Amino acid sequence: MPRAAGGGAVLAMPASRWGTTLRESVRHRVSRGARLMSRTQGGSGVAEEHAFAIDEVVLRRGDTTVLDRVSLRVPVGRCTALVGRSGSGKSTLLRVLTRLAEPDSGAVYYRGVPVAEWDVLELRRRVQLVAQNPVLLAGTAAEEVAVGAGALGEERIAELLGRVGLDAGLAGRETAALSGGEAQRLALARSLALEPDVLLLDEPTAALDSESATAIENAVRSLVRNNVTVLLVSHATEQVRRIADHAAVLVAGRVADSGPPGELTYLEETA
């Protein structure tokens, strides 16, 4: 039997067992972290689990403080809205959650584990960001929906397009010919194909007509019913009241107010 430097025996472990042990360790950390992130709210005795915990996050660009000691909790299986005027830091915060931007200080946890300790590809598979002006990667709409998800049948593609208010006939259209609103909805369908745990939506209905916006709102409601966590950036205060369970108002990079949308007087000032 091999000996360690101090004279003790080294027990060999098959490579497959190492892999199993590593996976079990990660699952244990995520499970334990999620339990630690649960909290009892309002004395109700009901513990609420959080997808993200954001603590005192600061991000600067040159002399400008974009995020200024931001602290926020994003509950699992709920729709949380970020509202505020342009330049208040909303989109930057979404980028921090997916490690597309790194804060200067503070801490961000996903399922109780620091985001810096997650494999970045695994984090971005679980947490899908749909930007306001997304980059499309494939030639046709059908190919775009399947990016990352692998081969998808025609019925599945049609179903995903329908969930975001796009006609199945769009599947064969070149992505370069799509309008801005169509491109954003297609990017959302691409994210839905991956069945993420969390969706980060940056102004998902800003460029849409009322019918298409309603389709997106219905999709958000359906996702939340299926325990998907949604973090939504929106300027539309009535939309926030319709679909969000919780809202946080950002002013000059700070959380100025948070709570149920119907109770936030600050919300009117962001429109």
Domain limits, the chain: 48-137+191-270
What pLDDT is attached to residue 267? 66
Q: Tell the residue number behind the tokens 């006939």, with chain if given.
A: 169
| Per-residue pLDDT in tens (0 to 9) along the chain, 271 residues | 444 444 444 344 454 444 444 445 445 555 444 444 444 333 333 345 899 999 999 999 999 999 999 999 999 999 999 999 999 999 999 999 999 999 999 999 999 999 999 999 999 999 999 998 899 999 999 999 999 888 889 999 999 999 998 999 999 999 999 988 899 899 999 999 999 999 999 999 887 888 888 989 999 999 999 999 999 999 888 999 999 999 999 999 999 999 999 888 766 555 5
Alpha helices (H) along the chain: 15-37, 90-97, 120-126, 141-145, 154-163, 180-193, 210-225, 237-243
Residue 1: per-residue pLDDT: 47
Burial 169-184 (b: 16+ CB within 10 A, else e): ebbebebeebeebbbb
> What pLDDT, on the 0 to 100 scale, is given for residue 269?
57
pLDDT of residue 95: 97
Alpha carbons 253 and 69: distance in angstroms, whole number: 8
Q: Note the pLDDT of residue 45.
A: 36
Position of tokens 């649960």?
38
User: 107-138 burial, b for 16+ CB within 10 Å, e for fewer?
Assistant: ebbbbbbebeebeeeebbebbbbbbbebebee
Enter the CATH code of domain 48-137+191-270: 3.40.50.300
pLDDT at 77: 95
Query: Is 194 within 8 Å of 227 (Cβ atoms)?
Result: no
Please report the pLDDT score of residue 271 as a whole number: 53
Closest CA to 236 of 258, 263, 259, 214: 214
pLDDT for the residue numbered 6: 45
Q: Cα angle at 216 between 213 and 218, to 5 degrees?
A: 110
